[in-house]
Copies of this chain bind each other. A is one copy, B any other.
Amino acid sequence: MSATYKVTGMTCGGCARSVESAIKSVAPDAKVTVDLGSAAVTVENASEDQVKKAVDEAGFTFLGAA
């Protein structure tokens, strides 16, 4: 099952990769897809709390479910 969250502050592929890595560092089995155009991050195998913590620590802004 996947969930999609709105995450702002990502402006390039490096930002997208950073969010993906940060989520995987707290939830190693996570599958992460980033859509830069819509500021959407879709995640499998991680809780919302894990995603929020990772996104915050990586310097982006977690806005909750998209």
Which A positions have Cβ atoms within 8 angstroms of B? Answer: 9-15, 17-22, 25, 56-60
**Other-chain residue from B11, B12, B25 in contact with A57 (beta carbon distance below 8 A):** B25
Classify the secondary structure of A's interface with B.
helix
- Assembled-state Cα–Cα distance A62/B9 (Å): 22
- Assembled-state Cα–Cα distance A19/B22 (Å): 11
20 contacts between A and B (CB under 8 A): A9-B17, A10-B14, A11-B12, A11-B13, A12-B12, A12-B14, A12-B15, A14-B15, A14-B18, A14-B60, A15-B15, A15-B18, A17-B59, A18-B18, A18-B59, A21-B56, A21-B58, A22-B22, A22-B57, A25-B57
